[in-house]
């Protein structure tokens, strides 16, 4: 895996998360290690270039992709 050393234009400088709802929703993270989860997220993004949008939704103009 290649590591990006310099920040690219448009990237966040910092990211914060409020996880207070997790206990209320009784949700538990399957992956808690960033190094383990990022390759999985990248693979999903690479294999789903339109996200969750279906081909029909894109063709009918529901999403401007």
**Considering the domain boundaries, does residue 61 fall inside one?**
yes
**Considering the domain boundaries, does residue 3 fall inside one?**
no
Q: Classify the C-alpha dihedral 20-32-51-17 as positive or negative.
A: positive
Q: For residue 39, what pLDDT is reported?
A: 92
**Considering the domain boundaries, does residue 50 fall inside one?**
yes
pLDDT over 60 at 65, yes or no: no
**Considering the domain boundaries, does residue 9 fall inside one?**
no
Assessment of whether the complete model's pTM goes beyond 0.75:
no
pLDDT over 70 at 4, yes or no: no
**Considering the domain boundaries, does residue 65 fall inside one?**
yes
**Considering the domain boundaries, does residue 42 fall inside one?**
yes
**Considering the domain boundaries, does residue 54 fall inside one?**
yes
What residues contact 29, with CB distance under 8 A and at least 6 apart?
Answer: 22
Q: For residue 1, what pLDDT is reported?
A: 59
**Considering the domain boundaries, does residue 25 fall inside one?**
no
The domain of 50 spans 30-65
Q: How many domains in the chain?
A: 1
Is the backbone of residue 8 left (phi > 0), alpha (psi -120 to 50) or beta?
beta
Q: For residue 43, what pLDDT is reported?
A: 93
Express each pLDDT in 23-62 by its tens digit.
Answer: 888 888 888 888 889 999 999 989 888 888 887 887 787 7
Integer-rounded Cα Rg, in Å, for the chain is 16
């Amino acid at each position: 895996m290649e590591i990006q050393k310099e920040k690219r234009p448009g990237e966040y400088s910092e990211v914060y998360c409020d996880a207070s709802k997790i206990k209320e929703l009784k949700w538990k993270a399957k992956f808690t290690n960033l190094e383990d989860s990022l390759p999985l997220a990248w693979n999903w993004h690479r294999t789903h270039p339109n996200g969750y949008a279906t081909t029909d939704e894109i063709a009918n103009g529901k999403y401007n992709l």
